[in-house]
Amino acid sequence: MVGLQCWEALSVRAHTFSRRTVVLAGGGVVALSATATAPASAGMAQINVRNYGAIGDGRTDSTHAFRTAIDAASRRVKASLGLAIVQVVIPSATSSYRVGPLTIPTNVELVGTGATRPRLLPKASVARWITTASNARNTAIRNLVLDTYGRVAEAAITMASGTSGFAIASTQITNGAGTPARAGIDTRSGTRNLAISACTLGGITAVRLGYNPTNTSIRQTTFKGWVDRAVWVRSDETYAVNGLTIDSCTILPPAPGGTVRQPIQINGADSKPIQNVTITNNRVTGPGTDYNDTTTPGTADLISLHRCEGFTVSGNTVTGGGDVGITVAQQSRNGVVSNNTSFANFSSGIAIGSGTSSYVRDISVSGNRCLDNGRVGRNDTTPAAARTGIYVQGAQTVSVKDNRSGSDSATTSQLYGVSTARSTGVTISGNDLHGNARSSTYSA
């Protein structure tokens, strides 16, 4: 027997191993043996914040109750020899819970329950609101509404350095009043295995991936009314992202104003390109106005990859952007852009390279549909060569194959099917380029 402390009436929980079974009961660990492998899934222990005095009336400061419940959950984890995952349960309430900064330790989850997702509000101004503990493992936030309410300066949720295995699921992050936070979700150095799924984010720069996160996934999440960027990857000469998947998300137009207005912006550095990016099956929609429109400015490029290596952009629908639909530029290499639909954007449907790219190389562009791009907007500065379905400039070894680029209507703003400039090793084959206003191809 191994004694357990502070078990606090934890119900019997069995963790089954390939070569042993550990039964966690109120008094101890039973049948403990050597050479264990990873545990199978089991029911999770729960601690209710209301049992520690939390009140969801929109007025009461429940910070102490939340922190005490989290501390109790952490004690249970330690008492289980680190085998248990413990949920801190936050029941639905008539109003919101007001809480100050919270820290989530290893193997602890914050989970909302009830008919409606519980809402949390900051009790006062704070830089970072909910943060994982340094080097925390296997943490989560599920089924909550986090309203920064103009009181969070930096981020609603922050992964502290060394965080591994953090899940954010079925959670809404928003800003109900005042100046928005700079990020809804933010990463610090050494973050690994962040999974965001089935969430709704808006009123903020939604996801900011800085430093060197590894194996991040963003799936089935909706971004609406975001500020400047929905997903922003900002690597530099010291840190670079490795492993990013954005799949089956819906990105709606941004909030009014802002200076960048870019739904997915991924920026690496020449010496440290961002590795292994997969952007698939997303729907990205701009407001349908030109980026330079002074009255109702549109977005910049809807999906933008700069200085990336080993990437796939496939199956996305990008519509109504104020500039390019999908851009791969600034020394990116070894990538695939396939089976996307890029429609009614104010510059090119797909741009490989740019006027400032030293090179973009080894890119396959295939099976895409680029229709009715190159629209004319207020204060428009788009050159004729860029009013095209597919634009290749400053690039090397690019295959443009089996794409549909043109229009099926009697009139179209898209001047060319494929344009090329300052590029070498471009092969164009098997494309359907009918229905462009001037010509099927153009070469500067």
Question: What was the pLDDT predicted at 380?
Answer: 81
Which residue is associated with the tokens 């791009």?
373
Question: What was the pLDDT predicted at 145?
Answer: 98
Q: What is the pLDDT averaged over residues 319-338?
A: 97
Q: Is there a single domain that holds both residue 183 and residue 291?
A: no
Residue 323 scores a pLDDT above 50? yes
Q: Is there a single domain that holds both residue 87 and residue 3?
A: no
* Dist CA 308 CA 386 (whole Å): 22
Q: Is there a single domain that holds both residue 27 and residue 72?
A: no
- In the chain, the percentage of residues whose pLDDT exceeds 90 is 84
Q: Is there a single domain that holds both residue 23 and residue 61?
A: no
In a domain, 215, yes or no: no
Residue 39 scores a pLDDT above 50? no
Nearest CA-CA partner of 369 in 351, 391, 346, 350: 350
Q: Residue type for 85, please?
A: I
pTM: 0.90
CA torsion, points 242, 281, 386, 355, in degrees to nearest 10?
0
Nearest CA-CA partner of 265 in 294, 315, 223: 223
Query: Which pLDDT band holds residue 437 (cuts at 50, 70, 90)?
Result: very high
Using one digit for the tens of pLDDT, what is the confidence trace for 270-300?
999 999 999 999 999 999 999 999 899 999 9
Which residue is associated with the tokens 């085998």?
83
Q: Quote the number of domains for the chain.
A: 3
Question: What was the pLDDT predicted at 43?
Answer: 64
* Dist CA 397 CA 389 (whole Å): 19
Beta pairing class for 45-48 and 29-30: unpaired
Residue 403 near residue 428 (C-beta atoms within 8 A): no
* Dist CA 13 CA 4 (whole Å): 14
Burial state string for 84-96 with b = 16 or more CB within 10 A and e = fewer than 16: bbbbbbbeebeeb
Say which CATH number the domain at 154 has. 2.160.20.10
Question: What was the pLDDT predicted at 12?
Answer: 29
Q: Is there a single domain that holds both residue 107 and residue 128?
A: yes
Q: What is the 3-state secondary structure (H, E, C) of 40-103?
A: CCCCCEEEEHHHHCCCCCCCCECHHHHHHHHHHHHHHHHHCCCCCCEEEEEECCCCCEEECCEE
Question: What was the pLDDT predicted at 4?
Answer: 33
Least confident of 6-20, 80-94, 291-305: 6-20
Q: Is there a single domain that holds both residue 175 and residue 52?
A: yes
Using one digit for the tens of pLDDT, what is the confidence trace for 298-308?
999 999 999 99
C-alpha gyration radius of the chain: 25
Q: Is there a single domain that holds both residue 28 and residue 135?
A: no
Q: Is there a single domain that holds both residue 130 and residue 191?
A: yes
In a domain, 104, yes or no: yes
Residue 418 near residue 388 (C-beta atoms within 8 A): yes
As given in the structure block, the two tokens for residue 243 are 């492993």
In a domain, 230, yes or no: no
* Dist CA 152 CA 148 (whole Å): 6
- Domain containing residue 28: 1-43
* Dist CA 319 CA 283 (whole Å): 8
DSSP assignment string, 231-257:
EEEE--SS---EEEEEES-EEPPPPS-
Q: Is there a single domain that holds both residue 50 and residue 36?
A: no
Q: Residue type for 210, please?
A: G
In a domain, 213, yes or no: no
Q: Which residues contact 148 (CB under 8 A, 6 or more apart)?
A: 122, 129, 156, 173, 174, 175, 176, 180, 181, 184, 203, 204
Q: Is there a single domain that holds both residue 391 and residue 438?
A: yes
Using one digit for the tens of pLDDT, what is the confidence trace for 198-255?
999 999 999 999 999 999 999 999 999 999 999 999 888 999 999 999 999 999 999 9
61 compared with 41, residue with greater pLDDT: 61
Mean pLDDT estimate for the chain: 90
Q: Is there a single domain that holds both residue 94 and residue 26?
A: no
Using one digit for the tens of pLDDT, what is the confidence trace for 131-171?
999 999 999 999 999 999 999 999 999 999 999 999 999 99
Beta pairing class for 164-169 and 21-24: unpaired
Q: Is there a single domain that holds both residue 177 and residue 316?
A: no
Question: What was the pLDDT predicted at 269?
Answer: 94
